[in-house]
Chains A and B, each alone.
Chain A
Amino acid sequence: MIEHDITLRIGGEAGMGLESSGAGFAQALVRGGLHIFGVPDFYSRIRGGHNFFTLRAAREPLYSIADPVHLLLALDMETIRRHIADVVPDGAVVYDSKDALPDALKRDDVHFIPAPLTEMARDIGGMELMRNTLTLGIAAGLLEFDLSYVESIIRDNFTRKGEEVVTSNLNVIRAGADLATEYKADYPFRLHAIPDAPQRIMLNGTQAFAMGALAGGCRFVSGYPMTPGSAVLVWFAQHGAHYGVVAKHVEDEISAINMAIGAAVMGARALVPTSGGGYALMVEATGFAGLSETPVVIYNAQRPGPATGLPTRTAQADLLFMLHAAQDEFPRMILAPGTLEEAFHLGWHAFNVAERYQTPVMVLSDQFLADAFRSLGVGALNFNAVTLDRGALLTDADLDALTERYQRYQITESGISPRALPGHPNAIWVTESNEHDEYPRIVEDAQNRIDQQSKRMRKAIPMAEDVPAPTWYGPEDAPLTLVCWGSTYGPAREAVDRLNAQAAGAANLLHFSCLEPFPPTAEAELRKAHKTIVVEGNYTGQLEFLIRARTGIAVDGHIHRFDGRPFRPEFILAGLQEV
């Protein structure tokens, strides 16, 4: 029996409830003491198409999904057609016996388990839609996963819908497990629960970032729905009010960011969640925030573009766009979390740096990080470490003592001008989008322009000392260094683990979670590497470009992925063969 690192995949059409049932099963595995990594893969449609949910489980923490599938739960023939090649020898395919299995899809080395899914779901559960639950019952049975954990999830998720719904779901899941008993002997893979494991949590990048932002004092969220970024807006719309956060779905992204700027000038920590296309509409206002020195946090969960692109898929191709968005120049920070822990941490950190430097801060996530679920230790989201630093913010007492006219854009050595919030009789000024002097008055003098533009740009100097440095993973001084940013961290980390399992000390990883200001330690770290391969989710190599531009270092090679699918360790390892 093989008990380690099992991947199951459930596939079917949109509307079959794959994501919710898959996430429910994942949560049951976590309650059963296992580590999981789960990724939904779906089309931009409400019905039809081909959707699937991949769920990997192991005794050790996971950072990625992997290619091999040990159990394929096929709610339609399309699922077998698309995924049969990924099934490992001795793996199993569960499918609905009412569908004829074409010979072309059969494999001698795979167990095919025809089950009367439609009939049983209807007869036992009362509705055909419960086929997904039934197949997960079969999965639990085949893998000998303790059904009580699945039952506890069903109770928690369905109690509010009434006892009848709970009972029918429990009946269906048990029937599935019973059905599996006759096939179990031939199937070699097991996922036994670990009853004495520490309690863990399961969440995705959307939740991790949103909780980090909330912990960081975010009090105003305005957005317009755009997959995959709007999941953060939805999270705040559903949970924000309970924590005193005003969350508004407004008429468009232009409105969203301008509202956030209005709220931020008044003193609320403000966030705009979006995706690349939505951010394109926010470009103008990003410049307004830059010139008016207004702290605002912009969250972009990237998807492939340009234009509408691939709405439900993943990419890392907006980096240079965000870096250069809006006319002329102003300081900005671009953060790119690679893990759930970083998404949480940078979620609150973003608000501190935005207020400290009074400028836009961008958080670059992507569909993969936003939607992928992972299990974590209960303490992994470090709420205790959260600090709230509002930077040079004048208090009422400071303003009471003011004898001169307040200068909102005072020239200072650091470039940071002490900020007041509107409403105090001694601090009356106009937040300006025109170039201005210190008060500010609209002034077009050349010297004033030099003074004010230099003041704003000077903020980049302390900012550069206040960025998360690139981090190493793996053995020091390895002959091969993978370099990545954002969500590629997980798959790259596992690729490094596998290389080192083959040959100790073979590879390590240098991960960037801040791209602007470019970390000052980057050059020294990169120079420690012997051979650098940049792994990133775009066509041209945007991090590679930045490394060259900022450090003069030419990396030794790259692996790019731009098909909308997340990196997997196998993809990276195959890429290394070609580099």
Chain B
Amino acid sequence: MVTRDDYNIDVKPTWCSGCGDYGILNALTRALVAHNIAPHEVMIVTGIGCGSKLPQYMRVNGMHTLHGRPWPVAQGAKLANHAMRVVIVHGDGDGYGEGLGHFVHAVRRNPGVTELVQNNLIYGLTKGQFSPTSEKGWKTSTSPDGSIETPAQPLALALTHGATFVGRGYPGQLKHLIWLIGEAMEHPGYALVDILQPCVTFNKPRAYDYYNERVYKLDDEPDYDPGNRTAAWERAQEWGDRIPIGIFYRATPGPTFEALDPVLQAGPPLVQRPLEKLAPAQVEGLLAGLR
């Protein structure tokens, strides 16, 4: 049995007291334990930002990559070793700003990767600039008169590009977040969990008080059908007085990116295959085409 101790490490997070990232770290660890996934069986791929330091604060395989680039790194890792669970954890600047292009293309491919986005609607590590998900009119150091841009709609974007698991969580609802991350990790294809992450230092108006008053669970809505993609697309863009969390959309995915690869369809993961010299018959096959 995997326990929380397995994930314990003697490194203190550099996050501010009260940061939503603590709840996300806690929820992810508990979800991994609840699903009996050991630290060496999972690879956590992150970008750059406060939240992307997360694998440093667990005892777990990780790749702390470049800003906006965890998606390609994660896909390469998954293709090379599809037996490894791969989880991306990164912020809104990383995932929906610098990495938005990679995000859309990755969703199209349906890799067997779970993506958790610490979405705090702000750039925290660089001390408070507006982010792709900041609301219009939001005043920050780089938008002194208020942002004039329409916020990105990542959940709707994922749905449009064929995602079959789209959810949103909130560390203020910890049990719900643990459950949601677990469901996402067990989804047999790409799964997105956008997480409302309070940044208590650089985005005080969008901290716990704000969300506690507005967040509601889709699973509590008797008429909400998470199998209805159109309804999911509408709810995905609901923001303001009421902010939905839970599973917006869930459907049976098609084969994953790695399962469709001709080399990976059968046999062990790529890295578990012996690295050997070409056999004489293989060499002959190569040369035959050149004669």
Contacts and interface: CB of A to CB of B under 8 A. Distances in A.
Nearest to B287: A201
B61 interface: yes
Given A262-B76, A263-B79, A430-B61, A442 B270 contact: no
B81 to A, nearest CB: 4
Interface string B62-96: 11111001011111111111011000000000000
Interface stretch (B35-43, B219-227, B231-239): B35-43
B127 interface: no
B102 interface: yes
Interface stretch (B24-32, B160-168, B187-195, B257-265): B257-265
A390 B271 CA distance: 13
A268 B101 contact: no
A441 B276 CA distance: 35
A250 B72 contact: yes
Given A219-B270, A441-B56, A211 B286 contact: yes
Contact of A431 (B11, B59, B63, B287): B63
B63 A246 contact: no
Contact of A428 (B61, B71, B83, B283): B61
Nearest to B69: A258
B76 A220 contact: yes
Nearest to A422: B61
Interface string A360-381: 0000000000000000001001
Contact of A423 (B84, B262, B282, B291): B84
A288 B11 contact: no
A572 interface: no
Given A267-B271, A430-B62, A432-B64, A243 B278 contact: yes
Contact of B56 (A203, A243, A264, A430): A430
B48 interface: yes
Given A250-B72, A259-B73, A262-B76, A202 B290 contact: yes
- Chain A interface residue bracket vs B: 35 or more
Interface string A245-279: 11010111011111111111111111000000000
B53 interface: yes
Given A255-B102, A431-B62, A378 B73 contact: no
B63 A442 contact: no
B53 A285 contact: no
Nearest to A259: B76
A265 B40 contact: no
A552 interface: no
A360 to B, nearest CB: 14
Contacts of A264: 76, 80
A10 interface: no
B275 interface: yes
Contacts of A263: 76-77, 79-80, 270
Given A201-B291, A390-B275, A258 B263 contact: no
A284 B53 contact: no
A433 B68 CA distance: 13
Contacts of A214: 278, 286
Contacts of A239: 286
Given A243-B278, A261-B76, A423-B40, A428 B60 contact: yes
A52 B246 CA distance: 62
B81 A266 contact: yes
A31 interface: yes
Contacts of A288: 65-66, 69
A325 interface: no
A421 interface: yes
Nearest to A243: B282
Contacts of A258: 65-66, 69, 71-73, 76
Contacts of A425: 38-40
Interface in B235-287: 261-264, 270-271, 273, 275-278, 282-283, 285-287
Contact of B275 (A202, A269, A430): A269
Contacts of B204: none
A402 interface: no
Nearest to B282: A243
B77 A265 contact: yes
A434 B52 CA distance: 11
Contacts of B79: 220, 246, 248, 259, 262-263
Contacts of A292: 63
A548 B75 CA distance: 43
A422 B40 contact: yes
B146 interface: no
A246 B270 contact: yes
A89 interface: no
B53 A442 contact: yes
A285 B76 CA distance: 14
Given A245-B263, A252-B101, A262-B72, A388 B276 contact: yes
B105 interface: yes
Contacts of A266: 43, 76-77, 80-81, 84, 270-271
Nearest to A376: B290
A422 B66 contact: no
Interface in A207-254: 207, 211, 214-215, 217, 219-220, 222, 239-246, 248, 250-252, 254
A433 B64 contact: yes
Interface in B119-148: none
A257 B65 CA distance: 12
A378 B287 contact: yes
Contacts of B83: 423
Contacts of B74: 262
A146 B286 CA distance: 27
Contact of A217 (B38, B80, B275, B287): B275
B178 to A, nearest CB: 22
A424 interface: yes
B285 to A, nearest CB: 8
B97 interface: no
Contacts of A241: 262-263
Contact of A421 (B65, B76, B105, B271): B271
Contacts of A202: 290-291
Nearest to A434: B64
A262 B270 contact: no
Interface string A134-170: 0000000000000000000000000000000000000
A545 interface: no
B45 interface: yes
A59 to B, nearest CB: 19
Nearest to A215: B278
Contacts of A246: 79-80, 261, 263-264, 270
A429 interface: yes
A268 B271 contact: yes
B56 A285 contact: no
B11 A441 contact: yes
Given A200-B291, A378-B287, A428-B61, 7 more contacts: A219-B80, A220-B76, A255-B69, A258-B76, A423-B84, A425-B40, A431-B64
Interface of B: 11, 38-41, 43, 45, 48, 53, 55-56, 59-66, 69, 71-81, 83-84, 101-102, 105, 261-264, 270-271, 273, 275-278, 282-283, 285-287, 290-291
7 A-B pairs with the lowest CB-CB distances in the bound complex, closest first: A262-B76, A259-B76, A430-B62, A258-B72, A262-B73, A201-B290, A267-B271
13 contacts: A214-B286, A241-B262, A246-B80, A258-B69, A259-B73, A262-B75, A284-B66, A288-B69, A422-B40, A423-B41, A423-B61, A428-B39, A431-B65
